[in-house]
Amino acid sequence: MSVVRLSAARVSGSLARWGPTASLIIALAVLWEGLSWILANVARVPLAQSRLPYVHEVLKTFAVYWPVLAKEASVTSVTVAEGFALGAFTGVSLALLMSLSRTAERILMPYATASQMVPILGLAPIIYGIVHDENVARILIAAYVTFFPVALNTLRGLTGTPPQAVELMKTYAASIWQTYWKVRLPAALPALAGGMKIAAPLSVTGAILVELMGAQHGIGVLLLRNLYYGPSHAYMFWATLITGALMGLAGYGLVQVIERIFVPWQPEFRRKGGARP
């Protein structure tokens, strides 16, 4: 009987957690389908399906061409993962350096901030033209859009460590590295995770932009190819576009799962009463 109650409680909890999201997705799909029908049959907009295609036709395209979409997505995903790892490592390293030295922060932060003023759409062809390698260019752009939010959030976490904890470490004659390892770095993990969640979808966008510059494989190449053929490939274009969006969401979700594993003490990961979910 207790097992049945526990299972019912878990099902109820899952419905409470995912029910609103599922309802929103269904409502958006119905609204999309209705607007598409209105454009095609009431407003009679020319080439209506290339502007807003039927949801069921896009889903049918997914079902037919998912091997192609998965293959191209995997190419993009590998370089995104490499660029994201490089950018996260660079961001954390910069944050550590700036937290150790006020002089380093005053020197580096303006340049790091100024680097984000350059539009990715303008930087991508420049990087691609310099390195002449689509994989390296994708990695560099993904790293470029990753490092700043990671550095900024990690620095905020490192410098926002409770002073009482730092003072306590000093009373125990702890070295600066012991203080960082035992106090500052654990305190900065939630902020680091926040920066990584911001950067994950952006790194996907950056890699796809590079692919639009003339790569041989990847979601961006498939997107450009279907855009070139116009209305005849409208459903495939939208399926590719949605695949790219899902890749960004998957990156965000993966970082969130890692955050739950390594930073489980955050309030949003606890049930009522303080127990972990």
Torsion of CA 201, 202, 207, 213, to 10 degrees: 130
Instruction: Tell me what the mean pLDDT of segment 208-217 comes to.
Output: 85
Within this chain, do residues 196 and 69 fall inside the same structural domain, yes or no? yes
Within this chain, do residues 28 and 90 fall inside the same structural domain, yes or no? no
Task: Report if residue 277 sits inside a domain.
Answer: no
Summarize pLDDT for 12-45 with one digit per residue, the tens.
555 566 677 788 888 988 898 899 899 888 888 8
Summarize pLDDT for 113-171 with one digit per residue, the tens.
998 888 888 888 888 888 888 889 999 999 999 999 999 999 999 998 888 988 888 88
Helix 55-100 / helix 102-115 crossing angle, nearest 10 deg: 150
Within this chain, do residues 106 and 16 fall inside the same structural domain, yes or no? no
The DSSP 8-state label assigned to residue 160 in this structure reads T
At 46 the three-state DSSP class reads coil
In the structure, what pLDDT confidence band is assigned to residue 2 with cuts at 50, 70 and 90? low
Domain boundary residue, one of 28, 52, 76: 52
Task: Report if residue 144 sits inside a domain.
Answer: yes
**DSSP letters along 202-213, please?**
HHHHHHHHHHTT
Within this chain, do residues 88 and 164 fall inside the same structural domain, yes or no? yes
Within this chain, do residues 249 and 158 fall inside the same structural domain, yes or no? yes
Structural domain total, the chain = 2
Q: Record the tokens describing residue 177, joined without a space.
A: 């590295």
Task: Determine the Cα–Cα distance for residues 149 and 87; give it in Å rounded to an integer.
Answer: 10
Within this chain, do residues 23 and 126 fall inside the same structural domain, yes or no? no
Res 233: pLDDT: 84
Within this chain, do residues 145 and 11 fall inside the same structural domain, yes or no? no
Within this chain, do residues 126 and 46 fall inside the same structural domain, yes or no? no
Within this chain, do residues 204 and 233 fall inside the same structural domain, yes or no? yes
Task: Determine the Cα–Cα distance for residues 148 and 150; give it in Å rounded to an integer.
Answer: 5
Percent of the chain with pLDDT strictly greater than 90: 49
pTM for the structure as a whole: 0.85
Decide which of 59 and 128 is more confident.
59
Task: Determine the Cα–Cα distance for residues 146 and 151; give it in Å rounded to an integer.
Answer: 9
Task: Report if residue 197 sits inside a domain.
Answer: yes
Summarize pLDDT for 222-262 with one digit per residue, the tens.
998 888 887 778 899 999 999 999 999 999 999 999 999 88
3 has pLDDT over 60: no
Task: Report if residue 187 sits inside a domain.
Answer: yes
Task: Report if residue 276 sits inside a domain.
Answer: no
Instruction: Tell me what the mean pLDDT of segment 93-97 comes to.
Output: 95
Percent of the chain with pLDDT strictly greater than 70: 90
Structural domain range at position 17: 1-52
CATH number at residue 264: 1.10.3720.10
Within this chain, do residues 40 and 83 fall inside the same structural domain, yes or no? no
Within this chain, do residues 61 and 122 fall inside the same structural domain, yes or no? yes
Res 77: pLDDT: 94
Decide which of 228 and 185 is more confident.
185
Within this chain, do residues 67 and 31 fall inside the same structural domain, yes or no? no
Task: Determine the Cα–Cα distance for residues 84 and 117; give it in Å rounded to an integer.
Answer: 20
Decide which of 49 and 30 is more confident.
30
Task: Report if residue 211 sits inside a domain.
Answer: yes
